[in-house]
Amino acid sequence: MTTTRRGFLIASGAAIALLRATGARAQQPSAPVPGKDRLIVRSPRPINLEARLGDLTAYHTPDEAFFVRNNYDAAPIAPAQWSVKIEGEVDNPLVLRLDDLQKLSMFTQDVTLECAGNGRSFHKPRASGIQWENGAVGNAAWKGVRLADVLSLARPRPTGRHVAFDGLDKPPTPQAPDFIRSVPIWKALEPQTMIALEMNGKPLPHLHGGPARAIVPGFVGSASVKWLERIIVLADEFDGFYMKSNYTAPRADNEKEIYSLQSLEVKSVIVSPAEGAKLRAGRTTVWGWAWSGEGELTGIDVSTDGGQSWSPGTFTGRWGRYSWRKWEAEWDAKPGAHTVMARASDSLGRIQPTSRAFNRLGYRWNVIHAVKVDVA
């Protein structure tokens, strides 16, 4: 069979990265924490762990398969000792403990978190940072309180236009910048933006930010700061390293101007069949996950001939406004070598591209996912 040139480049790039990663995995230690043994160790300290696509089979990603992204380490803290300060451009600065939050109205929602650098390893040339493949993403049921309800207790001033989050993770040296990220006030006040206390029906695990973390649905994972210690209402976007230097990308219309990342890209991944799978000829189901940040998913297309032709897939199963969605496509597989591809589109008019311009930090990777399979 033949494939399009773009399809060939997409599939070849993915295959090369897979081979490199496979060789690297053989040298990797097991996960440094109990219960995370199946995850790929991208960094032992601070701990950064990636899921294998083949383990992302459940709508709610279980803790043992949920990726871990840390910029710095944080010591465990007993829930009874935890508190968060709300300060800055507010008329009523205050400190809240866990039991104070638990007195507020609680709610549960499904939200997909994705590291801004997910897919970084596929950039050419090599981008700076942890070399994530496709598994720095997961979907969970988060339970907590609305950030808007917490901020209302502090009474933000009209001058407050941004909200910054500071966690208990500590820089390794006095010279290293604190990890602080801010979001616009409109996002902070959205009813889905929350302080989460539980993950998939259990108290929030320490590795995932327990006892309390921010969840900023639709934004890159770095906005959902772990181990919350301070919430600061600001007049302007926070002027710190992790807003002005890291977690930034050049603008499409002016690459000399950079901006701090906010919304996730529209994206999909193929879970089955896996790269290199040997399939029997006949009817088979191709499936995976798709998500879309501030946009809402509007479609998923699947190609089984390397991008020469595309057919619509079907979204199926449960989903939430900011969760991923399962998609499926039936395929009458004929004998031979095939390149299977998937591309998602959303309500903002975005569609997964065939390529992505290089940026030095390797962000915004949402190139069409492709896997090579053999049918006999």
Name every residue whose Cβ is closer than 8 Å to that of residue 344 and which is 6 or more positions away in sequence.
266, 267, 268, 290, 291, 292, 297, 299, 300, 301, 327, 351, 352
Distance between CA atoms of residues 223 and 232, nearest Å: 14
**Pairwise pLDDT comparison (27 vs 369), residue with the higher score:** 369
Distance between CA atoms of residues 143 and 147, nearest Å: 12
**Interior angle at CA 114, CA 234 and CA 11, nearest 5:** 140
What pLDDT does residue 217 have?
98
Residue 1 has pLDDT above 80, yes or no: no
Residue 344 in tokens:
């998602």
β-strand partners of 144: 107, 196
Domain ranges for the chain, please list them. 74-260, 267-375
What pLDDT does residue 29 have?
53
Length, in residues, of the chain: 376
Across the range 272-279, mean pLDDT stands at: 98
**Interior angle at CA 252, CA 250 and CA 257, nearest 5:** 40
What pLDDT does residue 10 have?
56
Q: In one letter, which amino acid is 75?
A: A
What pLDDT does residue 25 have?
41
Distance between CA atoms of residues 146 and 103, nearest Å: 12
Q: In one letter, which amino acid is 19?
A: L
Residues 224, 81: contact at Cβ < 8 Å?
A: no
What pLDDT does residue 285 have?
98
Print the SS3 string covering the chain.
CCCCHHHHHHHHHHHHHHHHHHHHHCCCCCCCCCCCCCCEEEEECCEEEECCHHHCCCCCCCHHHCCECCCCCCCCCCHHHCEEEEEECECCCEEEEHHHHHCCCEEEEEEEEECCCCCHHHCCCCCCCCCCCCCCEEEEEEEEEEHHHHHHHHCECCCCCEEEEEECCCCCCCCCCCCEEEEEHHHHCCCCCEEEEEECCEECCHHHCCCCEEECCCECHHHCCCCEEEEEEECCCCCCHHHHCCCEEEECCEEEEEEECCECCCEEEEEECCCCCEECCEEEEEEEEEECCCCCEEEEEEECCCCCCCEECEEECCCCCECCEEEEEEEEECCEEEEEEEEEEECCCCECCCCCCCCCCCCCCCCCEEEEEEEC
Distance between CA atoms of residues 236 and 94, nearest Å: 21
What pLDDT does residue 33 have?
83
The burial class, CB within 10 Å (0-12 / 13-18 / 19+), for 296 is middle
Residue 283: pLDDT band with limits 50, 70, 90? very high
Residue 305 has pLDDT above 70, yes or no: yes
Distance between CA atoms of residues 288 and 30, nearest Å: 26
pLDDT in tens, 88-144: 999 999 999 999 999 999 999 999 999 999 999 999 999 999 999 999 999 999 999
Q: Which CATH class is domain 74-260?
A: alpha beta
Q: Which CATH class is domain 267-375?
A: mainly beta
Residue 2 has pLDDT above 60, yes or no: no
pTM, two decimal places: 0.91
β-strand partners of 49: 41, 68
Residue 291 has pLDDT above 70, yes or no: yes
Mean pLDDT of all residues belonging to the chain: 93
What pLDDT does residue 254 have?
86
What pLDDT does residue 30 have?
55
pLDDT in tens, 31-76: 668 899 999 999 999 999 999 999 999 999 999 999 999 999 999 9
